[in-house]
C-alpha cells in the first residue's frame, strides 16, 4: 500500500452514483408495491452497500483500512432508471472515494440480483464518483502560487562548510510540489544580530522560512529573537508541528518552533534537522497556504 504515514488526518467525504435500468414499468411497480420475490429490494441493497463500504480494503488490494464514520444510501426513480447515491465520511489520512464507489456498486449488483427473477433485461448503466472533499489535493487546487518565498538557514556548521546543507534542497523540492519556489536563500549563524539583519533583507517576501535554532540548547536563540519581531503570533503553528511530530519523531516535543505575521510576511521558525523540517512542512502545508494565497492576492 502507498505510504500515508506523513499525512495529517482530516475530514474526508465522497459521493458516488450508480444507475440501474430495468426493462419494463412492471418491475418498478413491483418494487414500489414490495412484491419482488426475494424481499424488500431497497432495504436489502442498502444493507449490502453499507457492508460493501466496510469491506472495501479486504477486496481492493491497495486500499487502506479506514475508520468509516458515516455512510448512507439514497434512491430515486426516473422512468425505468433507479438512481443510487452513496455518501461516505471519515476522519483519516486518505480519501473515501473508493469506499463510496465500491459501496454503490454493491448496491447496484444487489438490485440486479434481486430483480433478475422478474426482469431479465436489468442493466447497470454506470458507476461514477460525483464529488469528494478533504485532504491536500482539495486545498491545492484553490491556492495560487506566485508569492515570493525566502529561506534562512541558521547553522554555524553549514555556514563554515563543516556540514552539508540538506535543508535547502529538501525545502525547495517540497515547495515545488505546490508550484512555489525559493527566491532567496541566506545562510547565517544562530545569532541575534544575524537573524535580525537577514529578516530586514526580506521585507518584500510573502513567506519567510527559518530553519534551525529552535531547540533547547543555550545556543538555540531563534524563538527569542523572532517572537518580538512578530506583529501577530499564530500559536497553532508551533502546536501543530509538535503534535504532528510527536507521533513520528519523539524528540519533536523539544522543538520551540513558532510562526506568525511580520508585517505582510508569513514568518515560520522551523526545526533545523532534516527530519524535523520534513515533519514541520508536512504538518503545515498546504493549510498555511491559505494565508499565502491571501497575501499573494493582496500583491496583485
> pLDDT, tens digit, for every residue of 234-276?
999 999 999 888 888 777 778 899 999 998 899 999 999 999 9
Q: Write out the three cell numbers for 216.
A: 533547547
- How far is CA 169 from each of CA 108, 208, 281, rounded to the nearest angstrom? 50, 16, 13
Expressed as residue numbers, the domain containing 240 is 140-299
Instruction: Print burial letters for 198-230: b (CB count within 10 Å at least 16), e (below 16).
Output: bbeebeebbbbbbbbbbbeeeebbbbebbeeeb
* Residue 292, all three cell numbers: 499565502
Sheet of 123-133: strands edge to edge? Answer: 68-78, 81-92, 10-21, 123-133
The CATH number given to whatever domain includes residue 46 is: 3.30.70.640
The answer to whether residue 245 is domain-embedded is yes
Residue-level pLDDT at 140:
57
Cβ–Cβ < 8 Å for 211, 280: no
Q: How many domains does the chain have?
A: 2
CB 102 within 8 A of CB 30: no
24 domain residue, yes or no:
yes
What pLDDT is attached to residue 299? 47
In a domain, 163, yes or no: yes
Q: Is residue 55 part of a domain?
A: yes
Candidate list 113, 156, 165, 246, residue with the active-site label: 113
Residue 113 catalytic? yes
Domain's final residue, options 90, 106, 134:
134
Q: Say yes or no: 39 and 95 in one domain.
A: yes
pTM of the model: 0.75
Q: Please indicate, yes or no, whether residues 188 and 266 belong to a single structural domain of this protein.
A: yes
Asked if residue 212 is part of any domain, the answer here is yes
Does one domain contain both 150 and 288?
yes
Which 8-state DSSP code applies to residue 93?
A: S
Spell out the per-residue pLDDT of the chain, length 300, in tens. 999 888 888 899 999 999 999 999 999 999 999 999 999 999 999 999 999 999 999 999 999 999 999 999 999 999 999 999 999 999 999 999 999 999 999 999 999 999 999 999 999 999 999 999 886 666 555 555 567 899 999 998 898 889 999 999 999 999 988 888 899 999 999 889 999 999 988 977 889 999 998 888 888 889 999 999 999 999 999 999 998 888 887 777 788 999 999 988 999 999 999 999 999 999 998 888 777 666 655 544
Identify the DSSP state of 181: -
Instruction: Answer with the one of 134, 162, 178 that is the final residue of a domain.
Output: 134
Amino acid at each position: 500500500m502507498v505510504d500515508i504515514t506523513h499525512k495529517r488526518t482530516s475530514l474526508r467525504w465522497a459521493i458516488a452514483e450508480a444507475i440501474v435500468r430495468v426493462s419494463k414499468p412492471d418491475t418498478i411497480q413491483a418494487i414500489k408495491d414490495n412484491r419482488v420475490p426475494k424481499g424488500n429490494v431497497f432495504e436489502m441493497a442498502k444493507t449490502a452497500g453499507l457492508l460493501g463500504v466496510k469491506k472495501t480494503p479486504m477486496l481492493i488490494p491497495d486500499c487502506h483500512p479506514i475508520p468509516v464514520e458515516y455512510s448512507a444510501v439514497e434512491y430515486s426513480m426516473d422512468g425505468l432508471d433507479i438512481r443510487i447515491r452513496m455518501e461516505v465520511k471519515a476522519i483519516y489520512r486518505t480519501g473515501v472515494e473508493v469506499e463510496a464507489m465500491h459501496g454503490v456498486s454493491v448496491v447496484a449488483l444487489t438490485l440486479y440480483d434481486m430483480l433478475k427473477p422478474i426482469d431479465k433485461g436489468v442493466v447497470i448503466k454506470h458507476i461514477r464518483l460525483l464529488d469528494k472533499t478533504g485532504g491536500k489535493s482539495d486545498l491545492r487546487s484553490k491556492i495560487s502560487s506566485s508569492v515570493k518565498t525566502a529561506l534562512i538557514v541558521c547553522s554555524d556548521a553549514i555556514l563554515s562548510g563543516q556540514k552539508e546543507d540538506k535543508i535547502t534542497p529538501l525545502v525547495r523540492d517540497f515547495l515545488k510540489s505546490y508550484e512555489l519556489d525559493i527566491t532567496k536563500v541566506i545562510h547565517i549563524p544562530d545569532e541575534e544580530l544575524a537573524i535580525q539583519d537577514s529578516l530586514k533583507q526580506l521585507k518584500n517576501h510573502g513567506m519567510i522560512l527559518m530553519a534551525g535554532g529552535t531547540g533547547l540548547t543555550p545556543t538555540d536563540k531563534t524563538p527569542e529573537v523572532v517572537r518580538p519581531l512578530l506583529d501577530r503570533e499564530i500559536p497553532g503553528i508551533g502546536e501543530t508541528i509538535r503534535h504532528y511530530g510527536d507521533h513520528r519523531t519523539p524528540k519533536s516535543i523539544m522543538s520551540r518552533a513558532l510562526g506568525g505575521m511580520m508585517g505582510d510576511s508569513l514568518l515560520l521558525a522551523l526545526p533545523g534537522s532534516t527530519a524535523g523540517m520534513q515533519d514541520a512542512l508536512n504538518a503545515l502545508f498546504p493549510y498555511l497556504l491559505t494565508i499565502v494565497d491571501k497575501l499573494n492576492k493582496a500583491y496583485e
